[in-house]
Structure 1
């Protein structure tokens, strides 16, 4: 016997129960459901009809428009949210008779559920609706609805939507920084203040790295972490990263990242990246760096970025120079080369044959970073085993994504011919250490191709991967997708930045920092320079050979001059020097250690090189940054002051000329006066019949 009750029909249901009616007829039950569904459909009807998201949901064509009681009976317990509260449907499995307890199971239509799930995310709603439509073609719509609703929950924090625009994230960062300020304002104890900050961060899924906490605690700088949480700039960076990672994770779960939808990264992340890149370009153009000793020497940060490895053209050129140098060394030394590709196990791949990979689903949908960590662990184990065996290799690895965002590695490896077979065997064994018997593992998990020098250059094997991961130069189309080279490269770079994945890494060879610092020095090191007075002629020649190789962009010669391609960092001929306060500065009474804006000590920066006991300064200028408007205004004010000074000088000179004219006029007047006085006296002497004095006669003449 079944009993059904509902809050809105409680009296009606009770009357049937009192009459001993064992069950509602199908018509009555359907009538109650229709009435309840009508109330749900009319809720917020006016607002919904004007919403473009609701219009898009209405255009979706799926045969069933709502859940029926038969749908509910298929599960043990389901809960559905309505305007009246939670309604629960439970099934008693004791016999074939279904007993409905508590309340009548009332459900929203699937359109309402979809609308409620996507409406809070306007920038992502279109993609989520499209994902729902694609998923309904491959699985039942209940599963599709559940995935969309789960995505909504993951994107919704108590006080923030992670799909928000950049302006909204910045505003939330400002609000949260002020909130932390108020919390810790009167707290003197660093540990208590840090615990309060940790509680706030946990609400956003944020936290400080354990290693950072230990280091700051040991250094007595725990308050610096608290101060970071009081900065809206720090909050903005954290929320942007959290938002980007969560949006990408949700997009992969909804099967929105693959070549059939959006290859390599989601459309929203791509749009955000373009917006941020344009913002960054404007900021760089509007920021000036000038020499504090000569303010006439100035550049915009955009100009300076174009001269560094931040410029894709410069970055690509440097990588090819280094790879070509490695290849030249390998040929000179008779070494072998191999091109190796490492791929993650199947459970890390979200899409297989155009649909969700069941192994990925069964594994709990591993993230992109989980796959990267797996490959990184494999490579660490490979290098550890080779180091223990005394086998050295050098080369480069490139990380790029499959069309569904799962990373894989390409390695160009150089080594002695006698060691290459062992190197390949170690790579193969460690790559297959995880699920070696799954389908396709033996064929795809680790592919190795020996490079034949007679058939072409080894650099050619990785040239297209370098271009694809930088700017897509010289690539007409991407074979994995239907994108052109530039579009594919843009998406790949966005993918790498979003997940914080280092795309390129050289292993073996000397420090590239020394290479870059020496390229700042264009003048030859003179042997008679007092700086090198204590060096022997051999030492001076060694240093000059290193500088010349770097200046000539000859990576092979640079490696040889630095001690060889297998040289250890502590045995390099020239080492980078990191700036620390001078000992004499620390002895001064007014010396205070430099700190960051958060109160912890600044990190040492490269300011030169060390060759034996000789320090080579490579950073000759001290630069200061300020906005272009401030710089231009200040320069105009300086020039205005200069003009004022010239005006004063000019007026002073005019006054002098006027004074000279007055003086000359006064002198002429005095001379005339003296002449008249003398003439009068002479006439007086002559009237008396006397001869005037000779001096008076001279005046009268």
Structure 2
């Protein structure tokens, strides 16, 4: 890719820019060429200016994603036969699939290099240590390999690891579907970070608010594909044969933005009623990050939007720890939303006793302004503000309603572009994996939703349980919080293909009596297959779920005795699908004697 405009400066530096930056530079120059009366001299000067700005952005992009640095050499010995990660590969689905398979194959080859020490015995004289040591050695080698490809390895940041944790992590890193998913996540992050660094996100000319045009279009396309899938599927009860349109099912859940908006408003009003009954006051905090996290600031240090969001969450953890130490009672909401340049900031709606108001403000302010305190001077309002609820202006709910609406549906707001901005806020949240809303200090919303799914006939056995049900059924959040203290969620555990324990809410219990709200076995089936529903249910590979325990049953004695040998456990865990026909003894013999993978 070459540039046809600019002076020697632009033509010299352009070839060394990352591909994503080159594309942006060319787009800007082409846009300038379309202007009326644009002379060659003006275009050349503009090209120099654009390349000069691109060099600054490239520094941050290359630091965050070293694989795009064209000036940096590649490890030819490492990538030989494996493939290299670069801009072109990252942008193409088929190339990513090939690279994912190569990464998996190399991870399997690393397993073959592990030396299994059968002499490593634990305190009981078993060879369990040998198995654990082999697992850990395999995990370390595979972790190093995936980190080279800018994939965050499972268990990163964990201080304590169990045998099951290592087994799960290894299974993920030898699964091409999991590796591909990480690459797709990397692509999403790479695109948006580059657009932010290039100044494509903001409130200025040729900028897009909150999220770049590219990422927003990608998000809307993923939403379109998801809706097309939903419209093509139905849910079938395997026990009764009943069929439900998946689209209609989703409309009834909080996956529907309208229902989510309604639920948040019910909770906010319930919090206000609960605070009134306790004599609490409402405080509204706005918490903004220092200048170094904002792309529109000259002090921006290349920090990503996700890094800023994590910093906010870390500081909030410190606040909650401090509040717990002084035993300050509070409850409320947190809303995370983007500035115009995409940087995350948070609004906290907290209810506390008037006597604790000053202490709560002091603790919040301390953590909000301590980082880069010198840049604030005497005025801390750019970073931290607090307002007390005014009942004459509608109370706490009136304050909260605006932030709920602007981040979910955009309804009931005076701005003409409120709905578009709400969509962009949701796209921003999805792209950066940032949770928009969180409540604390109250009953779990999962319990609320579960009780609302129950039938009245299931709860009439106890007057108190019936009262709780009526409050949930009639959207009385405050009363529900007061009457649900005896209710507990009923959790069903299962295991996925990686060996991870999954937790599914199937009902709730009241005084040792269990009320199931999710019963039966269900399967997703394409509507086009409904004419042969029985055959489809038997042969379809669609995902099914049930309230039954799907954990693996105990193995026969012969298989159980075979599993007593730790090396067999290791080979069974790590053996790829294409070697399923090989016996354990044959595979173990090859695996632990430098088996050469083709």
TM-score by length of 1: 0.63
Give the structure 1 partner of residue 465 of structure 2. 543
How far did residue 177 of structure 1 move?
2.6
How far did residue 524 of structure 1 move?
3.8
Could you tell me how far apart the structure 2 residues matched to 1:126 and 1:155 are? 23
Output the aligned Cα RMSD: 3.4
1:286 aligns with 2:232: yes
For the residue of structure 2 that corresponds to 1:210, the secondary structure is coil
Give the structure 2 partner of residue 576 of structure 1. 489
1:66 aligns with 2:12: no
Match for residue 452 of structure 2 among 502, 519, 522: 519
Could you tell me how far apart the structure 1 residues matched to 2:448 and 2:143 are? 42
Any unmatched runs of 5+ in structure 1?
A: 1-47, 49-53, 68-106, 352-356, 479-483, 533-539, 563-571, 581-593, 639-701
Cα distance change of structure 1 residues 526 and 341 upon mapping to structure 2, 3 Å threshold: closer
Q: Deviations over 1:485-536 (max 9, x none)?
A: 1221122111111111111011111121111111111324465xxxx5xxxx
Query: Which structure's CA Rg is the greater one?
Result: 1
Match for residue 456 of structure 1 among 394, 406, 412: 394
Cα distance change of structure 1 residues 307 and 320 upon mapping to structure 2, 3 Å threshold: same
Q: Deviations over 1:269-305 (max 9, x none)?
A: 111111211111122222332111012x122433322
For the residue of structure 1 that corresponds to 2:380, the secondary structure is helix
Conserved? CA contact 1:117–1:149, under 8 Å: no
Give the structure 2 partner of residue 72 of structure 1. none
Could you tell me how far apart the structure 2 residues matched to 1:192 and 1:604 are? 30
Cα distance change of structure 1 residues 435 and 196 upon mapping to structure 2, 3 Å threshold: closer
Q: What does 1:136-215 align with in structure 2 at a 5 Å threshold? A: 143-147=52-56, 149-150=58-59, 153=62, 154=65, 156=67, 159-162=84-87, 168-169=92-93, 171-177=95-101, 179-181=103-105, 183-184=107-108, 187=112, 190-210=135-155
Could you tell me how far apart the structure 2 residues matched to 1:221 and 1:418 are? 46
Cα distance change of structure 1 residues 637 and 577 upon mapping to structure 2, 3 Å threshold: closer
Cα distance change of structure 1 residues 149 and 559 upon mapping to structure 2, 3 Å threshold: closer
Conserved? CA contact 1:326–1:556, under 8 Å: yes
Q: Deviations over 1:443-491 (max 9, x none)?
A: 222111111213323111121211111121223437xxxxx11221122
Conserved? CA contact 1:337–1:412, under 8 Å: yes
Conserved? CA contact 2:234–2:525, under 8 Å: yes
1:608 aligns with 2:507: yes
Could you tell me how far apart the structure 2 residues matched to 1:623 and 1:163 are? 41
Q: Deviations over 1:335-359 (max 9, x none)?
A: 21121111111221110xxxxx222
1:431 aligns with 2:377: no
Conserved? CA contact 2:332–2:350, under 8 Å: yes
Any unmatched runs of 5+ in structure 2?
A: 33-41, 69-82, 115-133, 538-598
Q: What does 1:43-192 align with in structure 2 at a 5 Å threshold? A: 58=4, 65-67=7-9, 108-109=11-12, 117-118=19-20, 126=27, 143-147=52-56, 149-150=58-59, 153=62, 154=65, 156=67, 159-162=84-87, 168-169=92-93, 171-177=95-101, 179-181=103-105, 183-184=107-108, 187=112, 190-192=135-137
Could you tell me how far apart the structure 1 residues matched to 2:26 and 2:210 are? 20
For the residue of structure 2 that corresponds to 1:604, the secondary structure is strand
Give the structure 2 partner of residue 597 of structure 1. 497
Q: What does 1:616-627 align with in structure 2 at a 5 Å threshold? A: 616-627=515-526
Could you tell me how far apart the structure 2 residues matched to 1:152 and 1:434 are? 25
1:390 aligns with 2:327: yes
For the residue of structure 2 that corresponds to 1:314, the secondary structure is helix
Q: Deviations over 1:177-233 (max 9, x none)?
A: 355146517738544543443243123211324368776x51345343333233333
Could you tell me how far apart the structure 1 residues matched to 2:536 and 2:271 are? 54
TM-score by length of 2: 0.73
Could you tell me how far apart the structure 2 residues matched to 1:637 and 1:310 are? 27
Could you tell me how far apart the structure 1 residues matched to 2:515 and 2:273 are? 29
For the residue of structure 2 that corresponds to 1:272, the secondary structure is helix
Could you tell me how far apart the structure 2 residues matched to 1:327 and 1:419 are? 17
For the residue of structure 1 that corresponds to 2:495, the secondary structure is coil
Q: Deviations over 1:379-424 (max 9, x none)?
A: 2222222222221111111111111111111111111122222212
How far did residue 625 of structure 1 move?
2.2
1:445 aligns with 2:383: yes
For the residue of structure 1 that corresponds to 2:93, the secondary structure is helix
For the residue of structure 2 that corresponds to 1:621, the secondary structure is coil
Conserved? CA contact 2:107–2:173, under 8 Å: no
Q: What does 1:618-697 align with in structure 2 at a 5 Å threshold? A: 618-634=517-533
1:415 aligns with 2:324: no
Match for residue 325 of structure 1 among 249, 254, 270: 270
Conserved? CA contact 1:155–1:162, under 8 Å: no
Higher relative contact order (CA 8 A, sep 6+): 2
Could you tell me how far apart the structure 2 residues matched to 1:433 and 1:112 are? 43
Could you tell me how far apart the structure 1 residues matched to 2:437 and 2:178 are? 27
